[in-house]
Amino acid sequence: MLDFKYTFFLFPFPRKGAGGWTPLVSNKYQWLQIDLGERMKVTAVATQGGYGSSDWVTSYLLMFSDSGRNWKQYRREESFWGFPGNTNSDSVVHYRLQPPLEARFLRFLPLAWNSKGRIGMRIEVYGCAYRSEMVNFDGKSFLLYTINQKSISSMKEIITLKFKTRQSDGILLHREGQNGKHITLELVKGKLILFFNSGGANLPSLDAQVTLTLGSLLDDQHWHSVLIEVLNTHISFTVDKHTHRFQAEGEASLLDFDYKISFGGIPGLGKSVVFPHKSFNGCFENLFYNGVDIIDLSKKHKPEILIMGNVSFSCSHPQTVPVTFLSSRSYLALPHPTGENSIAVTFQFRTWNRAGLLLKSQFLHWSGALVLVLSDGKLKLSLCPPGQPVRAVIAGDGLNDGQWHSVSLSANGNHLSLKVDNDVSSAAHSQRGQIHSANTYYFGGYPDNSSGSQCENPLGGFQGCLKLISIGSTVVDPISIQQGALGNFSDLQIDSCGITDRCLPSYCEHGGECSQSWDTFSCDCTHTGYVGATCHSSLYERSCEAYKHRGNSSGFYFIDSDGSGPLGPALVYCNMT
């Protein structure tokens, strides 16, 4: 049963059902934004073209947000592309969203439109009210729930919650038991890891834990759902739409666990968890343990809940505004701040690509240039003084891992420095000649590749996301860029980080290792016994008879009886007599 249906007819005509949205300029930087007034569950969308016109959209992206900032693309069934639109102005194209999304704000971004007309859309949005309980953790707080011993079951444990955060690490829940038993859910580098020890051994290290890993890029400040089901040693673990199931070794009963479970952190040091951990910094929503509403109990200060630290029951974190560099032709040009007499730039970036131009700038008073590139997963800052050899500083490693990395570079007088992630991987270099200020800073690319500088960039443009850009003492506002009040740009998506994990789920079969760049993935089939783009085709024959027909003599051979099926190859002795 649908509780609401919003129909949007902008600029309505006098007759019933007329109207539509047609921007003054038809290009890929236009969008139609809808404010639903509060967070709603959206179950379907429908589009038409402009009434009685040749204006319609043939494909579009659907974006959503809770706050009107930091937008995320809704993806249809693992598709990386948008929604097919209309083929004329009158027909209705309807899509049911599976799964539904929850958001207050929606954006429709046209990707393509009728070549003989302009952008034109009429839109309907279908859905229902969405109610939730929220709790906010500040990275130092947690909830400790004492389970009612009379209601506890030795059969099954079910935990459900949603979370959102901009931190890549943190404990979501923890429960301990006898003989080293514990179950812990932790966010590690934007992935959720479920640690489970059934008590068969007192496992002393992180590497020895029985673990399940799901999800990726979960530090995107958007909601992600979690479902954990425990039946003795059988575990079912679901994050968003992906599920893993496994059975731990040993024997265990939920009655062997303590009657306390913590959310957002671990009280004290914990008896059985000795690896370093951080408390969670972010929000939970609709947290249930075996049907018990933990957040509601917390809000009512029920005795079963112990609140430790600064916990609030709303979710209002400051929103950063990321910028996506969509292609190797993307760039962002920003001016040097007035009155600044040195070069100092800070920003954060994330990407899967091993190489690309991050920053280039010509110096104001002499013909030298400063160039920062990502090369083989490392940052290389080159100073190109006129008539002198190019000098470079290298910092960081493995920076194409999809994680956010912070960068700080400065050039003042004859001093040049580069810092990555605030770690020891930094360096400084003295140069002859004074560096005072730059003309224009080009982030992610350069509009004129024939600049004539010694610092030519053979690596191409950057594809990925940037945020928190500062030049000197000036914090860059991407919304001002989007509105045309600051700098200029090409082929950017502002107020959204469009990075996706193409290895989740992995399409590599038979244990092939998935790796990716911004727009593709590949499978390493080494030592798997299979070949092909996704490690699908077996290297081995299905029977000894097949080897015999090839003229092979008796001996040991790998046999893959089901070819590309789930059974792996086995080493057997083939008697060819």
Reported in sequence order, the residue ranges of 387-463 that DSSP labels E, i.e. its strands, are 391-395, 405-420, 426-435, 438-443
More confident residue, 256 or 230: 230
Global confidence as pTM: 0.87
Tell me: pLDDT of 426 over 50. yes
> What's the mean pLDDT in 232-240?
88
In the prediction, which pLDDT does 548 show?
Answer: 93
> What's the mean pLDDT in 96-109?
95
> What's the mean pLDDT in 167-196?
90
| Region 134-312: CATH code | 2.60.120.200
Tokens of 451: 């600049």
User: Does domain 323-494 bear CATH number 3.30.1330.60?
Assistant: no
β-sheet bridge partners, residue 271: none
Lowest mean pLDDT among 13-17, 72-76, 153-157: 13-17
Cβ-contact 325, 490 below 8 angstroms: no
Q: From CA 283, how far away is CA 471, in angstroms rounded?
A: 31
In the prediction, which pLDDT does 347 show?
Answer: 97
In the prediction, which pLDDT does 415 show?
Answer: 72
Q: pLDDT digit string (tens) for 309-325? A: 999 999 987 788 999 99
More confident residue, 17 or 256: 256
Q: pLDDT digit string (tens) for 489-534? A: 999 999 999 999 999 889 999 999 999 999 999 999 999 999 999 9
Cβ-contact 394, 413 below 8 angstroms: no
DSSP assignment, residue 319? P
Q: From CA 438, how far away is CA 486, in angstroms rounded?
A: 17
Per DSSP, the three-state class of 101 is strand
- 4-129: CATH topology: Jelly Rolls (2.60.120)
DSSP assignment string, 42-84: EEEEEEE--TTSS--EEEEEEEEESSSSSBEE--STT-SS-EE
Mean pLDDT of the chain: 86
Biggest CA–CA distance in the chain, Å, is: 90
Instruction: Give the residue from 438, 424, 255 showing the smallest Cα distance to 343.
Output: 438
Domain boundaries of the chain, sorted by first residue: 4-129, 134-312, 323-494, 513-574
In the prediction, which pLDDT does 246 show?
Answer: 84
In the prediction, which pLDDT does 14 show?
Answer: 33
Tell me: pLDDT of 384 over 90. no
Q: pLDDT digit string (tens) for 324-365? A: 999 989 999 999 887 777 788 999 999 999 999 999 988 766
